[in-house]
């Protein structure tokens, strides 16, 4: 058991949760890489008879576990990180948001580079914008945070419930929905070279960035939720923290799991509400479950592996996408469209193991990951100018 006096325990738990979330995020993105950008495979609009094929069942089951859930947890952890930066600024007497705005702009720039060179579904640009908005809200205190959560949460929830109503109407009318014909995209990633793919992402910047823009209200809500959780003592290794975490676990188990099980309803009619509305409820279950297991088995060897990835979350996020592009795209090993769901799941685990090994070895020699070091260097240059 972990004692209250274990001062570093709380911080370690944050890194563990962040690392778990980063590795889990690949569990969603890897379907996009493996199917050469065909976003239909990240949902169940097509190939909906999952019971007729073990491969389709594997895909849908993994999406049930990870799609939107680990990204939601990662977003919450970004909010926790913002709160820690805010407290640090207060302790040192620095202006807020001050340098944090420049840090967020650097994140936005990193996201743009990642989008252009690696992956069109980058989340870093959205996080950069969200962080700036959240920083100004935090500056105005708890009342502003609560009000903003009600406004953006209500707006996002209303939109998603309207989408849910629309899809339920489609279901009763017998209509079907898909994300469109992705043949040109698949051809680009199967036969196009890296330069052609990067040029295509830039040429279609706005359409490809539409999701990153549309999820800003949800991201802002989850950022602010992370701040609220941090301030309420959820991550503290004391009885109050355990009580809060048990509550989050119950919410995730009793509400999150049943709502996310709707992914198994044929036709994909619940897929968008699941990813953008119900998934964060399961994110809370993961938070509560990982924290409980960590508290019960604090010496388990896997925690240090998650912790290493968490300390290098930005580097590992970009690295996993670069590795996936090399594995699946035509200019790399060209496995895209040629492997089944079980093999894709195996490659997800393999890439995660490589990331764990890389992060563990890197941190034995360096204090920060490569991208974290680059960001600190850029921030230092700005602060001196």
pLDDT value for 10:
45
CA angle 232, 71, 135 (to 5 degrees): 50
Does 369 have pLDDT greater than 90?
yes
Look at residue 146 and tell me whether its pLDDT is greater than 90.
yes
Please give the pLDDT value at position 380. 79
CA distances from 13 to 77, 227, 292, 320 (A): 11, 16, 10, 22
What percentage of the chain has pLDDT greater than the value 90?
82
**What is the structure's pLDDT at 8?**
42
Q: Measure the CA–CA gap between 35 and 337, rounded to whole angstroms.
A: 5
Which position has the higher pLDDT, 11 or 319?
319
How much is the average pLDDT of 70-98?
A: 95
Q: In the predicted model, is pLDDT for residue 7 greater than 70?
A: no
Round to whole Å and give the CA distance between 6 and 2.
7
Instruction: Answer yes or no: is pLDDT of 6 > 90.
Output: no
State residue 48's pLDDT score.
63
Task: Provide the pLDDT for residue 2.
Answer: 39
pLDDT at 92 exceeding the cut of 70:
yes
**DSSP percent split of the chain into helix, strand, coil, nearest 5:** 80, 0, 20
- Mean pLDDT is lowest, of 33-47, 109-123, 349-363, for 33-47
Angle between helices 313-328 and 99-117 (to 10 degrees): 10
Counting residues of the chain whose pLDDT is more than 70, the rounded percentage is 95
Report the SS3 class of residue 133.
helix
Residues 6+ apart with CB under 8 A from 125: 108, 111, 112, 115, 209, 212
Model confidence band, residue 5 (pLDDT cutoffs 50, 70, 90): very low
Taking the C-alpha atoms of residue 350 and residue 356, their distance in angstroms, rounded to an integer, is 10
Helix axes 216-231, 69-92, angle to 10 degrees: 60
H helices within 174-204, ranges in order? 183-191, 194-203
- What is the C-alpha to C-alpha distance for residues 186 and 32, in angstroms, rounded to an integer? 10
Instruction: Say if residues 236 and 295 touch (Cβ distance below 8 Å).
Output: no
Q: Is the peptide bond between 302 and the residue preceding it cis, with omega within 30 degrees of 0? A: no
Residue 364 binned pLDDT confidence (cut-offs 50, 70, 90): very high
| pLDDT mean across residues, the chain | 92
pLDDT reported for residue 9 = 42
> How confident is the model at residue 91, as a pLDDT?
94
Per-residue DSSP letters for 324-382? HHHHHSTTTT--TTTS-HHHHHHHHHHHHHHHHHHHHHHHHH-SS-HHHHHHHHHHHHH
Please report the pLDDT score of residue 32 as a whole number. 95
Q: Please tell me the distance from the alpha carbon of residue 83 to that of residue 104, in angstroms, as a whole number.
A: 14
Half-sphere exposure of 296 (CA within 13 A, CB side): 6
Q: pTM of whole model > 0.85?
A: yes
What is the pLDDT at residue 182? 87
The per-residue pLDDT for range 174-214, each reduced to its tens digit, is 777 777 788 999 999 999 999 999 999 999 999 999 999 99
Match 């990193």 to its residue by tokens: 110
């Amino acid at each position: 058991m972990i004692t209250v006096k274990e001062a570093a325990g709380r911080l370690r738990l944050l890194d563990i949760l962040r690392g778990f979330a980063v590795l889990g995020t690949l569990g969603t993105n890897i379907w996009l890489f493996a199917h050469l950008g065909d976003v239909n495979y990240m949902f169940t609009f097509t190939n909906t008879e999952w019971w007729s094929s073990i491969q389709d069942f594997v895909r849908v089951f993994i999406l049930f576990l990870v799609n939107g859930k680990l990204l939601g947890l990662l977003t919450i952890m970004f909010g926790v990180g913002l709160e820690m930066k805010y407290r640090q600024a207060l302790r040192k007497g620095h202006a807020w948001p001050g340098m944090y705005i420049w840090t967020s702009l650097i994140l936005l720039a990193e996201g743009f580079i990642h989008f252009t060179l690696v992956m069109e579904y980058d989340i870093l640009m959205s996080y950069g914008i969200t962080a700036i908005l959240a920083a100004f809200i935090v500056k105005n205190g708890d009342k502003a945070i609560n009000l903003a959560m009600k406004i953006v949460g209500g707006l996002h929830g209303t939109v998603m419930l309207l989408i849910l109503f629309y899809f339920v109407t489609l279901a009763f009318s017998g209509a079907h929905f898909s994300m469109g014909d992705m043949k040109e995209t698949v051809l680009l990633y199967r036969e196009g070279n890296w330069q052609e793919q990067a040029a295509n992402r830039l040429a279609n910047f706005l359409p490809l960035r539409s999701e990153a823009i549309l999820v800003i209200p949800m991201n802002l809500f989850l950022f602010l939720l992370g701040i609220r959780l941090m301030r309420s003592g959820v991550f503290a290794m004391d009885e109050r923290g355990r009580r809060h975490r048990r509550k989050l676990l119950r919410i995730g188990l009793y509400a999150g799991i049943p709502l996310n099980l709707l992914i198994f309803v044929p036709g994909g009619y619940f897929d968008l509400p699941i990813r953008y509305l119900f998934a964060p409820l399961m994110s809370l279950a993961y938070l509560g479950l990982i924290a409980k297991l960590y508290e019960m088995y604090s010496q388990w060897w896997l925690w240090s592996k998650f912790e290493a990835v968490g300390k290098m979350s930005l580097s590992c996020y970009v690295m996993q996408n670069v590795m996936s592009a090399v594995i699946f795209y035509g200019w790399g090993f060209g496995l895209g469209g040629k492997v089944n769901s079980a093999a894709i799941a195996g490659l997800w685990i393999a890439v995660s193991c490589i990331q764990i090994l890389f992060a563990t070895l890197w941190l034995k020699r360096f204090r920060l990951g490569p991208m974290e070091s680059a960001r600190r260097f850029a921030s230092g240059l700005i602060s001196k100018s």
